[in-house]
Chain A
Amino acid sequence: MILSIKDLTVSHGEKTIVDKVSLTIDKGEWFALVGQSGSGKTMLSQAIGQLLGPNLSASGSVNYQGANILVRPKTEMNELRGKAISYIFQDYHGSFTPFLTIQQHMDEYLQTHGVKEKQKRNSMIIEALESVGLDDSFVKRYPFQLSGGQLQRASIALALLLEPDILIADEATTALDSVSAHRILSLLQELQQKTGCAILFITHDWRHVVRYADKIAVMKDGKVIETGTKQKLVHQPEHAYTKQLIQAAPTLPMRVREVSKS
């Protein structure tokens, strides 16, 4: 077990957005959190890294390496974020500063986390970009010179730079077309197998879940209504809402064996 969430509640004044959610994520697994917009899945993911806005408060516990990180002081949390827990967001333009090159972003990231030697930083950057299929010509480019898929690759490279234990991907492919999305997710799967990090994968698209996830939790109105292995949730969903989500995503029919037409 790498992360264990117990009775996590996020509220905005009187209003409860995430309602006593408990989940455990094991080492190296792909954990999918599925739900409609407004179900609270993003708030849950942001509470984990203490990224919630000032008007939101979180209670309960998020246990990482035996301690509740919800109550970690800010400075210690800064060290943890990026090194142990990192994020990829839906809005890839918002993830980058427009006037910094890709290299400058990654260099800052490494410096913040204490990689002192410039040469080492440079080689790490080039290696990380290479691992997501971006050659060294991308190093000096600005974010606007990259396509959406390329930017999302760069943010994966950034997020995996320090080999975190858990990567939180919040609708990381929702803004991309399905071809680019598929390429990004296969890449993520490949890198996961290489680095062994766990992925908390937040999505509303059941088709991605079916293909990549090991475990699934379905969220509705701030609560986790059903959770289990992929096998169980895909083939024997108990909750009517889970069935509804499965049916809503269009799929191609099962491939019928080709009859030779010659």
Chain B
Amino acid sequence: MTVIEINHLKKSYNPDKLAVNDVSLSIEEGESLGLVGESGCGKSTLARCLLGVERVDGGSITFNEKPLANANRKDLRDYRRNVQTVFQNPTASLNPKLKIKDSLLDPYLQFQNELQLEHFHFTSKQAFVEQLLEIVELPKELGDRYPHELSGGQKQRVTIARAISIEPKLIVLDEPTASLDVLSQGAILELLATLQKSLGMSYLFISHDLAAVYQLCQRIAVMKDGELLDMFQKEDIYNSRRHEYTKELIGIF
């Protein structure tokens, strides 16, 4: 089943140039789609449109076969719950005044009345937090700490735990490893792969690092100057029909 479908999406910040130019793609249930491109190619803008933090200038986004454009409040709330995100900078993603456990509980408390969790069980706040920390391989004691007491890699694990806590259908990962140390980068990629296997959600993994995308994703899309140039199954990465720009990217890694 298709989780999300983007059709002919357009977004521009200035009249002469489209930041996202007629991009169409879809993501299937349980699939991870990688979106690769260099700085300024529009990949993050696309993600922001998808998350509803930017208004789109053309085209449509369809979630669970319902177009977002004519979604009512309830549909939008449902959408917000089902599409979660992890950003590049984990420090900016966590409220510095909240203990880790409070950041982790926030999404659940927002949505508890309409949630039917399959993988996690809410018996008490304490137990729920411990469950989340455990699945991202962090020690339980971290729940009582503040973000500044954690390393970058640990903080990114917390934002991942928070994103999966309400069992979304899709997680938009916008350069989740770019600000991390090399050893943490590898560990986070492994964690994301393991979580997808056990929880079954879809990923849109945005990165300039083709090799990282290759490691995590089944399908890869390539963007340049706002346009989608190429899209392929990862097995076909060395196929001669790849776009010239894709070949250039491959040559780098």
Contact = CB atoms under 8 A, between A and B. Distances in A.
A204 interface: yes
B181 interface: yes
The main secondary structure of chain B at its interface with chain A is: helix
A92 interface: no
B29 interface: no
Interface residues of B, number: 25
Interface of A: 36-37, 147-149, 176-180, 182, 204-207, 244-245, 247-253, 255-256, 258, 261
Contact of A205 (B182, B187, B214, B238): B182
Given A176-B39, A180-B38, A36 B210 contact: no
A249 B184 CA distance: 10
Interface of B: 38-40, 181-183, 185-187, 189, 208-212, 214-215, 237-240, 249-250, 252-253
A250 B215 contact: yes
Nearest to A35: B182
The 3 closest A-B pairs by CB, nearest first: A248-B186, A177-B208, A179-B38
Contacts of A249: 182, 185-186, 211
Contacts of A177: 38-39, 208
In this complex, which of A149, A248, A253, A261 has the most chain B Cβ atoms within 10 angstroms of its Cβ? A248
Contact of A37 (B181, B186, B249): B181
A36 B181 contact: yes
A253 B237 CA distance: 10
B38 A207 contact: no
B193 to A, nearest CB: 11
Contact of B214 (A148, A149, A252): A252
Contacts of A258: 238-240
A16 to B, nearest CB: 21
A21 to B, nearest CB: 20
B253 A252 contact: yes
A180 B250 CA distance: 14
Contacts of B239: 258, 261
